[in-house]
Chains A and B, each alone.
Chain A
Amino acid sequence: MPQSLEKLSTAWAIFQGLLLEAIPFLLLGVAIAGLARWLVPQTAWVQRLPKNPLIAPVTGALMGFALPACECGNVPVARRLLASGAPMGTAFGFLFAAPVLNPIVLASTWAAFPDQPWLLIARPLGAFVIAVLLSLLLVQLPDTQLLETALLSERRMSQPLSRIGLLERSGGLIGDAIGKIAPAEPTRPRATDVLDQSSREFLDLLALLVLGCLIAALVQTWLPRSWLLAVGGAPTGSILALMLLAVVVSVCSSVDAFLALGFAAQVTPGALLAFLLLGPVVDLKLAGLFTVLMRPRAIAITAMAASLGVLLIGQWVNLWLL
């Protein structure tokens, strides 16, 4: 078989591996989002989440412990939070922190690095800091520049103002102010309606996941990993190389610690931590999924800010440990 065909065949196999491994987690995320929609009628509890700019991302990050899934599963849940009117900071804090701050990922990190206790503290702590910083940064953008158009419309529908007609709003241009209007009682959607909506959500996200896995498989096949690890010993070079590797490989956060274990001895501690921090927030597989949440500019800001934050954390760890 010609070498280019052989490589294509290998890329096809990697694509299938990535896709089949990610589908269960995506389905789990969509199922949890659907279940939450059914069990808790919309806006009943998300409206009660703290709106304070500092406390909101912290709350969102801590909510990650409720969802034992990787980054693919978090996207539908974060989308549901945003669509239901949750504070932006909470939803983004959850989106960026949950892939690491969850029981499965912490257990797998511990299983992979039982002899490196600093990593067991540094990974969740670093993920928490990155998530809070990203959330604080993104909420500075106007909603129209931050959220994807369909999501923004959905979110506006769940805002309290939408419950009151234009003519009924006090201080409006037409008519007199009227008395206080009792808020509408939230109604539980039918299970079949939830299935209907969740199936749309799943197929939308699956199409993007397919695209992300295709790109990741092609890049991984034609970019030898040994090139990236060739600079393993250099403090800054190793961090940058492992960050690039995390973006390219696109492995789920629930198992990336085992992958990192494979080259832990060849790279600096800061690079190892950078790999474990960046992958759950930015990778090729996620790039497509994020388009259901954010506009391209916001995605670019997320990628750049996360990379910068992770690079600084990695540098600091290298200074401290080397």
Chain B
Amino acid sequence: MIRGALLITWGWIVLWSVISGRLDLLLRGVFHGLVGISGAALLLAGVVLLIRQRGRYERLPWAWWSSAAIALLVLLVPPNPSFSDLAESRPQGLPEPPELAFVLPPEQRTLTEWVRLLRSQQDPDLVDGNPVNISGFVWTQQSGPPLIARLTVRCCLADATPAGLPVHWPEGFIPNTNQWLSIQGEMVVTTRDEQRVAVVMPKAITPISRPKRPLEP
């Protein structure tokens, strides 16, 4: 009977992760359906077991109890990763740019598309003066000024890879690590470390709350 209850607990946690939107913070969207189906299947199996074993007691191994305790912790303590911390411990590396990044008008490009575009072409002057309308979190690096960044995932948070853009922060503005910002401005070309690089020159910076789906594919 308790085994059925354990399966229901896990099934509920898995299903609830999908319903509550928690998965948006943890997994790439393509896997959400699969997770939801497995949660429903676990719930169903648990209910069947519960009915079948009604009134029967069985001794459960300690490992099952431990995993049940972890399950409750998962339910009670929501994930709250430090995006800046994640970004800092991983090298930047995005897949080849999709054609979309080149087709879209500059003001419609997301931060990730901008990074892909700038990596794929060597001459930053080609984007000089382009309007920019992006959002991301503040990535404080160990060296150098903070970047505006996004995390991309292929699978789950474990393989998150950062994509960051340098910003010409206004005088007196100190961006807080992990703070989400929306930036409107334009791309300008400047020289940093003896290299010509494209930098976001903000005209307006607005603090925003973390988006519902903060991870990008």
Binding site for B on A (CB under 8 A): 1, 6-7, 9-10, 12-14, 16-21, 23-24, 27-28, 31, 112, 192, 195-196, 199-200, 202-204, 206-208, 210, 214, 216-217, 220-221, 224-226, 229, 249-252, 255-256, 258-259, 261-266
Q: Which residues of B contact A (CB under 8 A)?
A: 3-4, 6-7, 10, 14, 17, 22-23, 25-27, 31, 34-35, 37-38, 41-42, 45, 48-49, 52, 61, 63-64, 66-67, 70, 74, 77, 79-82, 85-86, 88-91, 93-95, 154-159, 161
Please determine whether B89 and A225 come into contact, CB atoms closer than 8 angstroms. yes
Which of B48, B61, B64, B70 is the most central at the interface, judged by chain A CB atoms within 10 Å of its CB? Answer: B70
Other A-B pairs beyond A10-B81, A18-B158, A199-B3, 12, CB < 8 Å: A9-B81, A12-B77, A17-B79, A20-B27, A195-B52, A203-B6, A203-B7, A220-B158, A259-B155, A264-B93, A266-B91, A266-B93
Q: Which residues of A contact B38 (CB under 8 A)?
A: 23-24, 27-28
Task: Give which listed residue, B17, B37, B91, contacts A225 with CB less than 8 A.
Answer: B91
Contact A255 B10 (CB under 8 A): no
Majority-rule SS of A interface residues: helix
Neighbouring A residues of B93 by C-beta, 8 Å = 261-266
Contact check, A261 vs B154: say whether CB atoms are below 8 A apart: yes
Chain B residue with the shortest CB-CB distance to A200: B3
- Do most interface residues of chain B lie in helix, strand or loop, or is the interface mixed? helix
Bound-state Cα–Cα, A169 to B65, Å: 44
For B6, B25, B26, the residue with the greatest tally of chain A CB atoms inside 10 Å of its CB is B26
Closest CB in chain B relative to A175 CB, distance in Å: 40
Partner of A263, one of B27, B34, B86, B91: B91
Give CA–CA (A224, B37) in the complex, Å.
34
Cα A21 to Cα B215 with chains together (Å): 15
A-B pairs with beta carbons under 8 Å apart, 5 shown: A14-B158, A23-B10, A24-B35, A220-B158, A251-B155
Is the Cβ of A258 less than 8 Å from the Cβ of B155? yes
Which residues from B are CB-within-8-Å of A261?
93, 95, 154
Contact check, A262 vs B161: say whether CB atoms are below 8 A apart. Answer: yes
B85: chain A residues at CB < 8 Å are 6-7, 10
Contacts of A202 in B (CB 8 A): 7
Q: How far is the CA of A207 from the CA of B62 in the complex (A)?
A: 10
CA distance A60 to B53 in the complex (A): 37
Which of chain B's residues have a CB closer than 8 A to the CB of A252?
155
Contact B42 A27 (CB under 8 A): yes
- Closest A residue to B3 using CB positions: A199
A260 CB to nearest chain B CB (Å): 9
Residues from chain B with a CB closer than 8 A to the CB of A6 are 82, 85
Chain A residues with CB below 8 A from B88, complex form: 224
| Distance of A27 Cα from B82 Cα, bound (Å) | 30
Which partner residue on chain B sits nearest A259 by CB separation? B159
The docked-state distance in angstroms from the alpha carbon of A312 to that of B10 is: 42
Docked complex Cα distance between A83 and B17 (Å): 34
CA distance in complex: A199, B158 (Å): 28
With A206-B67, A207-B63 as contacts: A20 and B14 at CB distance below 8 Å:
yes
Complex CA–CA separation, A229 to B161 (angstroms): 13
